[in-house]
Structure 1
C-alpha cells in the first residue's frame, strides 16, 4: 500500500509525534508499504527517511510554538494528494487538516489518528476548577459536532488509550478503535540501570543515595503542569527526602524555573535527544513523575515502564492507562496535594520492591513495531473491503 500521512504535528525538533513518524517510516518499509509523510513547514523540500519520504509543504508558523507550522492551503494539499494517488490517507490531527482530508475528493479510505486531545489539553484544564466536565462538553459542543462529522467522513478513528476511546464513544463517535502506540524497540530496558548515575543525580539534588529520585521528562508547556509537579515534590520533601530531575525545555521555561528556584533538591536538565542517554536516565531513577492528564498515549510513561521504572501519573488521560497496566500509582489529576501524597506513599512503601515489580512487567510493554503490524493489517482490510465494494 501507499499510505500518505497528513501530519500536522510533525516537526524536525518535535517530540513524541516525531518519534512515532520516524518509526512508522521504517516499519512501513519493512512491511513492504510506501509511507509518505506530508508535513507543514516554513519551506518546501523532500527528505528521504527510513525508506519513505517526508514531504514538507510551505505553511504558516504556529504562533504558540514556533517549532511547528500548520496547513493553511487546502487546494495545494488536495492537489498533492491527487498527484500521489495513495491507497489510504491518514490525518494525524483532529483540527483543520483533518477537515481538509475529509473534503478531499479522492475515493480512497482515510483514517484519523488522535495524536491530540484538545479538550483535555485546553478546555478541561482551563475550566475544570469551576465547571463539571459535562458542563464543559456542553459549552464546547461545537468541537464535539466537528469530531462527529470527522467520524462520519473517515473509515477509522485510531485512539492510543482506553480512556480516550471511552470519552470519544461517550461523545457519540462510532468508528473508534483503541490501538496503543508502543515504544521504539531495542532502546529501553531495566538492564540500563546505573547506580552510580543515580547517586550522582541525587548528589546534584543535594541528597544522599538513600533518598528517592524522581524523574520528569517533557516539554515545558502549560498542559504538562510542571509547576504543579514541583510544588508537590517540594511538599513531599517535608515528609521524606526526595529529589526531582526534570528534563526538558519549552515556552514555559521561565515559569518552571521560578517554581523550582527555591528548592535545591530539584534539578533542571536540557532536553535529551540521544535515546541511549534517555534510556539510562529512565532505568536509573526510582520513579517517573508526570503532570499531564491530556496525553493521548504518554510515550515517556511507556518508555519508563519498558525501563522497569514505576510511574506516578494523573488518574485521567493516556498516562493513567500506563499506570493501570502495572507498576504505577495514580493521583487526582491537577491536584498537587494528591500528587504529594502519592510521592510520600511511594517513598515509604519500599521503592526497591516497587521497582522490582515494574522490572518484571517491563517485557510486556508493547513496541511500536507491534503497533504498526496491527495498524497496517487493519488498513489492508479496509482497503480490500473498499476495493471489493467498488
Structure 2
C-alpha cells in the first residue's frame, strides 16, 4: 500500500513530531508499505531514508518560530500528491493543511488527520481573553468532517473532539525506542560534568517556546534552592525564547545545552538525571517525558496536560509555578531511588513503537506487520472524562489504547473498535 504523509512544523531541530514521524514511517516500511513523507524546507529535495522517501518542498519561514516552515503552495502540493498516487493520506497539521482532506476525498483516497496539538489548549494560552470556546469547536468539527479518520494520541487530546460527538475519532498512543532510551545509558562522566555528587540534577528537554513553560522549570529550581535543596538544572533544546529564559535564569545554576542532535547524548542525559521536568500545559503526549521514563528517570508534569495519562504513578503532577513543581520534585526524591527508577522504566515499557505502528496501520485500514500486531484488550478509557487529565486513566497500556479506535463509517475493518463518545459505548 502507498502511504503518503504530509507534515508542517518539521525542521532539522524538531523534537517530538520529527521523532514520531520517523518511527512511524520506519514501522510502515517494515510492514511492507511504500511510504513518502512530504515536509517544507528551504529548497526542494528528495532522499531515501529508513522511514521511506522524504520529499522536501519549498516553504516560507514562520516568523518568530525558530526555524519552522510551512507548505503554503496548494497548487504545487496538489500536483505532487497526484504524482505520488497515494492509497492513504496521513496529515500532521490541521490548520494550513486541512484542505488536503478534501483533495483526498475527491480522489478516492482514505485520509487521516493526526492531531499533535490541542486547539482548545492553545487558544486558552494565546488567544485574547474572551475568545469563545466555540471557535475551537467550529475548527475541530471542520477537521473531523474533512478526513475519514482523526487520530489523537491520548484521551486528553481526544477530549476536544469527543465532546463534539465526532464519529470518526481514533485514539492511538505514540511510543518510545526502548533500546535507545534505557537505564543503562546512565553516564557518570556526564553526571560529573553537570552536577556535584551532592546535588540533585534536574533536566528539562524540549523546545524553548512559550507553550513549553520552561520558566516553570526554572522557577522550580529557584524554589528548591530557597528550601535548601542543592539542585541544578540542565536545559536541552533551543527555540525563540532562549534569550529571555537565559535572562530569567541569571544567578541560578542553570546550564543551557542548546539543541542536541545526538540522540545518544539525549538518552544519556535523560537517564543520568534525578528528575525530569515537563511543565507544558497543552502537551498532547510528551515524547521527551516518555523517553525520560524509559531511561529510568521519573518526571514531574503539568496536571493540566495529557502527561498524567502517560507517566501514571511513575511521575508526579504539579500546578503552574515554582512551589508546586518543587513540591512534586521533592515528593519523587523521597522515594527509594532504585524503586522509583524501576517504576519509571516499567511504565515506559507499555509504550513500544511496534504497538503504536500497529495501531496507526489499523486506523489506516492497512495490514500491520505480523510481528507488530497489538494484543486485544478492553478499552481502558471507557467512561473517562478525557478533558480532565487529573482523572485520566493511569493503568492504560499502549496495546489497549492502540486497539481503542473509532470505526469510521468508511472503514470496513472489523478489528477497528469504537471509542466511546461522551462516555457512551
* Cα distance in 1 for residues equivalent to 2:326 and 2:254: 15
Aligned residue number for residue 173 of structure 1: 166
Q: 1:186 to 1:348 in 2, by over 3 A?
A: closer
* Cα distance in 1 for residues equivalent to 2:356 and 2:63: 33
* Cα distance in 1 for residues equivalent to 2:120 and 2:59: 25
* Cα distance in 1 for residues equivalent to 2:174 and 2:138: 26
Q: What is the root-mean-square deviation of aligned Cα atoms in Å?
A: 2.4
* Cα distance in 2 for residues equivalent to 1:352 and 1:238: 27
SS at match of 1:60: coil
Q: 1:61 to 1:8 in 2, by over 3 A?
A: same
SS at match of 2:100: helix
**1:281 correspondence with 2:281:** no
SS at match of 2:99: helix
**1:376 correspondence with 2:361:** yes
Aligned residue number for residue 153 of structure 1: 146
Paired residues of 1:322 and 1:328 also in contact (CA < 8 A): no
Q: Which runs of 5+ in 1 are unaligned?
A: 204-208
* Cα distance in 1 for residues equivalent to 2:224 and 2:208: 22
Which residues of 2 match residues 73-152 of structure 1 at below 5 A? 73-104=73-104, 105-120=106-121, 122-126=122-126, 139-152=132-145
Q: 1:8 to 1:370 in 2, by over 3 A?
A: same
Quick one: which of 222, 234, 252 aligns to 1:245?
A: 234
Aligned residue number for residue 257 of structure 1: 246
* Cα distance in 1 for residues equivalent to 2:277 and 2:26: 31
Aligned residue number for residue 255 of structure 2: 267
Q: Which runs of 5+ in 2 are unaligned?
A: 367-406, 414-425
Aligned residue number for residue 321 of structure 1: 309
Paired residues of 2:23 and 2:51 also in contact (CA < 8 A): no
Aligned residue number for residue 418 of structure 2: none
Paired residues of 2:181 and 2:291 also in contact (CA < 8 A): yes
Instruction: Tell me the CA shift for residue 309 of structure 1.
Output: 0.9
SS at match of 1:43: coil
**1:229 correspondence with 2:222:** no
Aligned residue number for residue 419 of structure 2: none
SS at match of 1:227: helix
- Summarize deviations over 1:49-108 as a string: whole Å, max 9, x none: 116211122222222325222121222222221221111111111102122333452111
- Summarize deviations over 1:177-201 as a string: whole Å, max 9, x none: 1111101342011122234432432
* Cα distance in 2 for residues equivalent to 1:233 and 1:37: 40
TM-score (norm 2): 0.81
**1:335 correspondence with 2:321:** yes
Aligned residue number for residue 206 of structure 1: none
* Cα distance in 2 for residues equivalent to 1:22 and 1:211: 36
TM-score (norm 1): 0.88
* Cα distance in 2 for residues equivalent to 1:373 and 1:64: 37
Instruction: Tell me the CA shift for residue 221 of structure 1.
Output: 0.7
Paired residues of 1:212 and 1:241 also in contact (CA < 8 A): yes
- Looking at secondary structure, tell me which structure has more helix per residue: 1
* Cα distance in 2 for residues equivalent to 1:166 and 1:269: 35
* Cα distance in 1 for residues equivalent to 2:322 and 2:171: 30
* Cα distance in 2 for residues equivalent to 1:194 and 1:169: 43
- Summarize deviations over 1:132-182 as a string: whole Å, max 9, x none: xxx65xx14233212112212211111111211123212443322111110
* Cα distance in 1 for residues equivalent to 2:351 and 2:334: 30
Q: 1:46 to 1:89 in 2, by over 3 A?
A: same
* Cα distance in 1 for residues equivalent to 2:363 and 2:59: 31
Q: 1:352 to 1:71 in 2, by over 3 A?
A: same
Instruction: Tell me the CA shift for residue 127 of structure 1.
Output: 6.4
Paired residues of 2:237 and 2:260 also in contact (CA < 8 A): yes
